[in-house]
Amino acid sequence: MGSELILHPAFLVLMGALVLALAPPRARGKVFPLFPLGALWICWNLSADQSLSVEFLDYRLSILQVDRLSRIFGIVFSLIGFAGGLFALHLRDVRQQVAALLYTGSALGLVFSGDWLTLFFFWELAALSSTVLIWSRRGTGPGVGLRYLLVHLFGGSLLLAGILGQVHASGDISLQVLEAGRWSSWLILAGIAVNAAIPPLHAWLADAYPRATVTGAVFLSAFTTKSAVYLLVRVAPGWEVLITLGVIMALYGVIFAVLANDIREILAYHIISQVGYMVAAVGIGTPLALNGAVAHAFSHILYKALLFMGAGVVLQATGRSRLSDLGGLGRTMPVTLWLYMAGAFSISGFPLFNGFISKSMVVSAALDAHHQAAYLLLGLASVGTFLSIGLKLPYFTWFGRGRQEINVSQSPRNMHLAMGLLAFLCIGFGVFPSLLYAELPYGAGYRPYTIPHLVESIQLLAATFLGFWWYRSRLAGQPTLTLDTDWFYRRPAGWVRRFVVEGTSRLFDRADAGVLAGIGWLAARSKNPTLWFGRGAEPEQAPTMAGEDPDATRPRLELAVTLILLSALLIAAAAFFR
Amino acid sequence: MKRWHWISLAALMAGSLILERTIAHDPSHASPWWRHIPGFYGWLGFLGCIGIIVVSKLLGRKWLQKDERYYDGK
């Protein structure tokens, strides 16, 4: 059993997190990429139908269940773990390194889970470990990580509730296609929708990713949303509601990316947009569409990590990430620019880049399945992708007006090396699509390089460029914040804080002050009973023992005489009437 | 943008339009109505691009864009 576990890609990486924590600090960066590399080797050699299970309580947990779908996700997750490790080779922060390995390991564990309970364990471990990558950024308060964690715990609760309902109804914990019409299926779908960033449950992504660490964002861009896509392909193929949601996502991300100012926020909104293609493809549900979803997830992980690396290098070298603070960096950062552009051409669907061979698969599948509106709207979304990622972001970062005040520091060479590796893969899969197609899980032939496909792409991209050039002055970054659905928990949070925390503490303060004043009032009257009769000078502040003027509280003579006479009179009257 | 950039862009557009008219349609896919509009994808790209910019900026200006300290204040 123990010896078999070492051959589980997830356990190898999770063990790596432990080894890394114990390794000498200088070696940690170099040891890090070895574990994902080992996992990649294992995933590559896994054969379909390989499985491994353990007994836990009354259940038989299937911790390794291999088929072509899990294998290809395992391969790309390990690959990006390796590239991310290379990008972070210079890092001296054990907390981030361990969290990144735990996160990679949980993503791998998730795709190889054969049952709901194992999957849920890795689902939650991924949420916890990824939160650390957001918290580790210096200068960001704990708020953003806390929001991220709470949203994911909420999503996890939905998933768990759905899983419990599912297991209760079927008596079986194995991962199976969800049945329509069961409430537990909808709960599971809602839980997955949080991680897949389907609006209106998406706002955590654009809130947290731009505020993660430079290296952490690379890992974040790959795992959470794509493992949710994996799960959708596994359990919800052909759920038609996903077509509508996917198309909405694709356009939603595009519109918000036009308004975004932070370069990593632009990239984050385009994760939502690109995952929209995958979600829509899962909804279409034909073998070509499902292959398209998987292929696009594969391509997307590679080019999106490359784009986040490019933006991370800019942030690290200049300390800036807002378009309104950037400009003219092309001369000082040419290597970063061109490596970034390889990712930008890929995401925009340029022929010979990997986005083209996967995105065209999804849109062709939409057309073949007679979803014409979805086809046209996804085409519109790819216009927006090229506009924001391929034109707006690079134009206002590397081209345009240079700024004298920007100091550009040298970036570690390993960062460019990691970008180079991913750029090489983006172009490699773009030029030789059969390398990817051969590994796809569902049997459906597809040829990307046909004359009509090329004509469509060239016209779409060239015309988008013309539109951008004509209107480019309107696209300059503005230092503003864009409201999104996180308003619904961020804004009321202020009100709740004001009412529950500040309101309560104000109430306590007032009560405190009231009680103290009352005690002072009583104390003065106990010391000097003449005050009850409204006479005598009441001391302005509580009397102190030392240095006090005795005359200040001394009763006046006539009052004392009156009191004594009155008392004598009362005693006499009492004696008389007894 | 230098002059040769514009010339190659124009050549690319012209080439794609000629190819679109001359090469027979890929029979493996369905043939919807828009195939009969010349340069349809060019129009989709150009008008789509302008549309996305105008709609987004309008939404931003009228509704969504706020001061950067919007959530920091009381």
pLDDT band, residue B56 (cuts 50/70/90):
very high
User: Considering only CB atoms, which chain B residues are within 8 Å of A454?
Assistant: 16, 19
Which value, to the nearest 10 degrees, does the dihedral of the CA atoms of residues A28, A30, A35, A41 take?
180
User: Considering only CB atoms, which chain B residues are within 8 Å of A266?
Assistant: none
pLDDT band, residue A550 (cuts 50/70/90):
low
pLDDT band, residue B28 (cuts 50/70/90):
low
The residues in B 49-68 lying below 8 A from A, measured between CB atoms, are: 49-50, 52-53, 55-57, 59-60, 63-68
Token duo for residue B57? 């900026």
- Whether A178 has a pLDDT exceeding 80, the answer reads yes
The residues in A 217-276 lying below 8 A from B, measured between CB atoms, are: 254-256, 258-259
User: Considering only CB atoms, which chain B residues are within 8 Å of A483?
Assistant: 63-66, 70
> pLDDT tens digit string along A464-473?
999 999 999 9
User: Considering only CB atoms, which chain A residues are within 8 Å of B53?
Assistant: 258, 387, 467, 471, 474-475
Residues 6 or more apart whose CB falls under 8 angstroms from that of A112 comprise A8, A9, A10, A63, A64, A65, A66, A70, A74
A367, B13: Cβ pair inside 8 Å? no
Name the domain count of chain B. 1
Backbone angles phi, psi at A63, to 5 degrees: -85, -15
Nearest CB neighbour to B49, from listed A387, A456, A459: A387
Average pLDDT over residues B36-60: 95
Reported as half-sphere exposure (CB side, CA atoms, 13 A), residue A483 has a value of 14
Nearest CB neighbour to B50, from listed A471, A481, A491: A471
User: Considering only CB atoms, which chain B residues are within 8 Å of A376?
Assistant: 34, 44
Cβ–Cβ pairs < 8 A, chains A and B: 152
Nearest CB neighbour to B48, from listed A383, A465, A471: A383
pLDDT band, residue A234 (cuts 50/70/90):
very high
Average pLDDT over residues A10-37: 95
User: Considering only CB atoms, which chain A residues are within 8 Å of B66?
Assistant: 480-483
- Whether A176 has a pLDDT exceeding 80, the answer reads yes
B45 touches chain A (CB under 8 A): yes
pLDDT band, residue A4 (cuts 50/70/90):
confident
- State the Cα–Cα distance between residues A570 and B11, nearest whole angstrom: 121
Residue A49: predicted pLDDT: 82
Residue A3: predicted pLDDT: 67
Residue A65: predicted pLDDT: 94
Assess if residue B13 is contained within a domain: no
Q: What is the length of chain B?
A: 74
> pLDDT tens digit string along A347-386?
999 999 999 999 999 999 999 999 999 999 999 999 999 9
Nearest CB neighbour to B68, from listed A376, A479, A483: A479
Residue A493: predicted pLDDT: 84
Residue A272: predicted pLDDT: 98
- Domain of residue B68: give its range: 38-74
Assess if residue B10 is contained within a domain: no
Assess if residue B8 is contained within a domain: no
- State the Cα–Cα distance between residues A157 and A174, nearest whole angstrom: 19
Residues 6 or more apart whose CB falls under 8 angstroms from that of A214 comprise A312, A313, A315, A316
- Backbone Cα Rg of chain B: 20
User: Considering only CB atoms, which chain B residues are within 8 Å of A467?
Assistant: 45-50, 53
User: Considering only CB atoms, which chain B residues are within 8 Å of A457?
Assistant: 41
A476 touches chain B (CB under 8 A): no
B71, A491: Cβ pair inside 8 Å? yes
Residue A149: predicted pLDDT: 96
User: Considering only CB atoms, which chain A residues are within 8 Å of B34?
Assistant: 376
Residue A282: predicted pLDDT: 98
> pLDDT tens digit string along A481-525?
999 999 999 988 888 888 899 999 999 999 999 999 999 999 988
The H or E element spanning position A455 is helix A451-471
The residues in B 3-42 lying below 8 A from A, measured between CB atoms, are: 9, 12-13, 15-17, 19-20, 23, 25-26, 28-30, 32, 34, 39-42
A456 touches chain B (CB under 8 A): yes
Q: What is the mean pLDDT of chain A?
A: 92
Q: Rounded to the nearest 5 degrees, what angle is found at the Cα of B16, between the Cα atoms of B15 and B19?
A: 85
Average pLDDT over residues A111-128: 96
- Whether A551 has a pLDDT exceeding 70, the answer reads no
> pLDDT tens digit string along A434-489?
999 999 999 878 999 999 899 999 999 999 999 999 999 999 988 999 999 999 99
Cα–Cα distances in angstroms (integers) from residue A512 to residues A255, A488, A523, in the given order? 52, 35, 16
% of chain A residues with pLDDT over 90: 82
B67, A481: Cβ pair inside 8 Å? yes
- Whether A401 has a pLDDT exceeding 80, the answer reads no
Residues 6 or more apart whose CB falls under 8 angstroms from that of A133 comprise A96, A99, A100, A103, A212, A213, A216, A217, A219, A220
Nearest-neighbour CA in chain B from A225: distance (Å): 25
Nearest CA in chain A to B41: A460
Residue A533: predicted pLDDT: 72
Sign of the CA dihedral with A215 first, then A221, A224, and A230 last: negative
Assess if residue B4 is contained within a domain: no
pLDDT band, residue A198 (cuts 50/70/90):
very high
Lowest-pLDDT choice from A23-37, A161-175, A218-232, B17-31 = B17-31
Query: What type of residue is A172?
Result: D
A480, B67: Cβ pair inside 8 Å? yes
The H or E element spanning position B41 is helix B40-59
Residue A13: predicted pLDDT: 96
B19, A451: Cβ pair inside 8 Å? yes
Average pLDDT over residues A39-53: 92
User: Considering only CB atoms, which chain A residues are within 8 Å of B20?
Assistant: 452, 455, 459
Nearest CA in chain A to B66: A481
